Amino acid sequence: MTNEQQNDTRIWHGELTTRSALRRRGLLQVSPGLFWILIFLTVPALALIALSFATRGGYGEIEWVFTLENFSRLAGYGMFGWSPDYLIILARSLWVAFVTTTICTALAFPLAFYIARKPKTTRYVWLTMVIIPFWTNLVIRTYAWQLVLSPDLPIAKFAAVLGLIPAGSPLYPSEFAVYLGMISAFLPFVVLPLYSSVEKLDWSLVEAAFDLYSNRRRVFMQAILPQTLPGLSVGAILTFVPAMGMFLIPDFLGGAKYMLVGNLIQQQFGKSRDWPFGAAVSLALMVLTLIGLFVFRRKGEKMEVI
């Protein structure tokens, strides 16, 4: 039977129909979604790519003159020779996102287990407590950290007593404050998917591993981790991707010296009015994020077959 004949053969699929009719209807059904993705994802992405090869005019307008200058500038080649400033920002963003993801995961594991082992009635109270911060806007939460870290409050005073900061100064802007803000913002994104994995955990596998002479480490690596990997990878992606592009928290808590790629992009599209360069940085961020995800997936796949 040729392909076309096969497509026109009448088949039962809740009604008497043909394969081609089913396919037509399927296409119709997904078209709103496809249209949405086309308009709001594909077109802007293409525009961004085009923009990154354009030239900034004298007054910040866009001139459609093809150039690679934006990328060479990002790589550090400027008017006054080579400087690694932009590359440092990119590397730092990657590092901050990585550390945030790692710490969030490390914190989320015990929390997810703690909640999952609570009786069903109180479990939802705990989950609600994890979600509550979402009810407040991130801007307000970040301002709140400024207050918490301000010189008059115990944390900064304590740090001053320990000699970590001069007396009477706040704990921000600092790298520490950025991490604090990032972790508090992203922790729920790891806890929730991880919790859903932990809740479904087959404890008999844990017992089997224990029964078969495993120490705690081996029980975790062989019986718990493979089972929680789906939740863990969702949580890590949900943290890593937005953490790469975060500009609000480093802006409020990191100060001018602690710039991340998100701030750089914001600056180019805002104050500097250099859209083509901003587009080039955005593209670099996108590529870096994709590489990060790819590496993460490879690592995850490897873990599953240990």
Partner 1 sequence: MTLEAYAVHKSYGNVQALKNVDLTVQKGELFTLLGPSGCGKTTLLRIIAGLEQADTGSVFLNGLPITQKPANERPVNTVFQSYALFPHMTNADNVAFGLRSQKIPEGDIRTRVNKILEMMELTNFKDRYPDQLSGGQRQRVAMARALVCEPELLLLDEPMSALDAKLRTQLQIQLRRLQQQLNKTFILVTHDQDEALTVSDRIAVMKDGEVLQHGSPRQIYDRPNCRFVAQFIGTANILEAERRNDQIITHAGRLTVPSPPQWKRGALVIRPEGIVLRDQEPETNGVLATVTETFYRGNFLDITLDPAGLRMRCAPHNKLQVGDKVWVELLKDALVAIDD
Give the Cα separation of 285 and 291 in Å (integer).
Answer: 10
CA distances from 63 to 51, 265, 270 (A): 9, 19, 17
Q: Give whichever of 16 and 306 is closer to partner 1, judged by the CB atom.
A: 306
The alpha carbon of 222 is separated from its chain's Cα centroid by a whole number of angstroms, namely 27
Reduce the DSSP state of residue 3 to 3 states and report it.
Answer: helix
Which spans of this chain sit near partner 1 (rule: CB under 8 A)? 202, 204-205, 207-215, 218, 222-223, 226, 304-306
Name the residue among 249, 263, 232 with its Cα closest to residue 113. Answer: 232
Q: Give whichever of 24 and 299 is closer to partner 1, judged by the CB atom.
A: 299
Min dist. Cβ of residue 229 to partner 1 (A): 9
Q: Give whichever of 160 and 205 is closer to partner 1, judged by the CB atom.
A: 205
Half-sphere exposure of residue 54: CA atoms within 13 angstroms, side-chain side = 18
Q: Give whichever of 209 and 261 is closer to partner 1, judged by the CB atom.
A: 209
End-to-end C-alpha distance for the chain, whole angstroms: 45
Min dist. Cβ of residue 300 to partner 1 (A): 12
Token pair recorded at residue 35: 């249209």
Min dist. Cβ of residue 194 to partner 1 (A): 18
CA distances from 209 to 201, 214, 222 (A): 14, 6, 8
Q: Give whichever of 6 and 204 is closer to partner 1, judged by the CB atom.
A: 204
Min dist. Cβ of residue 96 to partner 1 (A): 32
Min dist. Cβ of residue 197 to partner 1 (A): 14
